[in-house]
Amino acid sequence: MKTNFIEIFDTTLRDGTQGEGINLSVQDKLLITQRLDEFGIDIIEGGWPGSNPKDEEYFQKVKQIKLNHAKICAFGSTARFPNQVETDPNLLALIKAESEVVSIFGKTWQFHSEVGLGLTDDENEDLIYKSVKFLKDNGRKVVFDAEHFFDGFKNNKAFATKMIQAAERGGADIIVLCDTNGGSLPQEVSSIVYEVKTLVNIPVGIHAHNDGELAVANSLAAVQAGAVHVQGTINGVGERCGNANLSSIIPNLVLKLAKNTNIDVNLEHLTSVSNFVFETMNLVPNTRAAFVGNSAFAHKGGIHVSAVLKNSKMYEHIDPTLIGNKQRVLVSDLSGQSNIKYKAKEFGVNINGDKELSKRLVNHIKSLEYSGYQFDGAEASFELILRSEMNEFTPFFKMLESKVNVTFDHRKQESSEAVLKIEVDGEIEHTAANGEGPVNALDNALRKALTRFYPEIALIKLIDYKVRVLDEKDGTAAKVRVLIQSSDGNETWTTVGVSENIIEASWQALVDSINYKLFNIKKVNSPKAI
């Protein structure tokens, strides 16, 4: 380990998979391993080979991958009995994994040692010493995770100190202090790390959990107190409330604390790595996540946007491009003319400094949002409004008549049929279609009616459908807002509709979705006409 450099230890594939609802296949773990290596992680903890066949398979297959920088680490515990170290199944599985690095945890809280394992102090000390020495004698770099260290140190400093010194005597390369229950405060972590550095002569690291929402703060406090090794997971996934979030720790270390990492991390890839891990774990990304979230650099209030347009430092703590994210300006009832100008520029619309147009648009948007529309999540609908005001867009079709029939009976059999009459360039198309529910029937009928005129709509797929009740107190007569996310395989866009009738609200969003796609096709094919 380089002096004055911070070693980044990722345990997404091991501790991260202990989070509720998280399950990774061997192939998933191999793909994440490659992305973490490309990003610049020092050590990747792949799993516990002594606990399950999947992790054993991972350690066999990961050897076939050529990594650029990262070292693979196998995880396990100290031996179960002090006099059986050389035959302990867990330690032998760690050796069999053939990873360059091994991390093992041992008890450093006297209460846990006595109650959990039924060991005397001397037995626990002997167990740690012999387990570490066995792994070192077999040529491994050993990371000793001092489990429950902060609770143990506060409870019995002498016992906790004795245990980490036993690991040091055994030849451990680094002592990692674990806030296993995640209940410590930053000032406690800072003072304890500082003191521990005077008690051992090898590097000290930190492994924090997030039960007090302080894992990132505790990790940074440990580094400021002298820790040179930080453990965590991408996006903070992990057991209970999660682990320390490397997606926040790494940019704070590099950009705020001006720390160097052993490997120069590709910080501009941070957001894409975060999204990749979310996607591979089949988790919905946290839009409000610090640094990497879609909302991390999103601005909605008109005063904020006006300031950001002059100098983004007024409302952005870093340049979002440094970590692969981007600035976003939202349009809503809180918008001012600055928002409209920003979005117009983003859409390639030239409003030529037309203050009256900007003012008219602001008032129009505020009126619509007062009625229940929401455009910060439906920018396709907003762009159509903007271009309509600029006389650049007119709808590609007109609905003349519509009827939706839904029937169901006590046997829970249901059928839905939509009948539509639409007009396109003076031609009338009358059609009907069935569907899985009234909205699907309406969607099918609209596509069927339009395909003769616009075959391109066959590419459009509805990928998300959300309904929000706006006035709960009105019960079944309440307004609803429908958000529809659509995709053509390359681009994704979201549209909105609002009505007391969920079918009507869905229709509005469906119409906007198709109009948006057709408008963009026209824009590409006839840019001068736009």
- Residue 29 and residue 490: Cα distance in Å, rounded? 27
Is residue 1 pLDDT above 60, yes or no? Answer: no
CB environment 98-130: b (16+ within 10 A), e (fewer): ebebbbbbbbbbbebbeeebebeeeebbbbbbb
Q: Which residue range(s) make up the domain with 471?
A: 398-529
Claim to verify: residue 434 and residue 341 sit in the same structural domain: no
Report in angstroms the alpha-carbon separations of 147 from 202, 409, 451, 513: 17, 60, 64, 54
Residue 475 and residue 487 in contact, taking contact as beta carbons nearer than 8 Å: no
379-389 vs 355-370: helix axis angle to the nearest 10? 140
Residue at 386 is within a domain? no
Both 438 and 470 in one domain: the answer is yes
| 33 and 72 fall within a common domain | yes
pLDDT digits (tens, 9 = 90+) for 59-71: 999 999 999 999 9
Element housing 161 (H / E): helix 157-170
The percent of the chain in helix, strand and coil, each rounded to the nearest 5, is: 45, 20, 35
The rounded distance, in Å, linking the Cα atoms of 19 and 424 is 53
Domain for residue 441, yes or no?
Answer: yes
pLDDT-derived band at 143, boundaries 50, 70, 90: very high
Contacts of 148 (CB under 8 A, 6+ apart): 107, 108, 109, 112, 178, 180, 181
| Predicted confidence (pLDDT) per residue in 385-415, tens digit | 878 877 888 899 998 988 888 887 666 677 8
Whether residue 246 is found in the same domain as residue 336: no
Rounded to whole angstroms, the Cα distance separating 395 from 400 reads 13
Residue 211 in domain: yes
User: pLDDT tens-digit profile of 443-459?
Assistant: 999 999 999 999 988 88
User: Would the CA dihedral through 180, 181, 182, 186 be positive or negative?
Assistant: negative
Q: What DSSP assignment string belongs to 370-397?
A: HTT---TT-HHHHHHHHHHHTT----S-
Question: For residue 494, what are its two tokens?
Answer: 């979201």
Cα distance between the two ends of the chain: 59
pTM to 2 decimals?
0.70
Domain stops at, among 222, 249, 280: 280
- Residue 488: give its domain's CATH number: 3.30.160.270
378 in any annotated domain: no
| Across 87-99, average pLDDT | 95
- Give the count of domains, the chain: 3
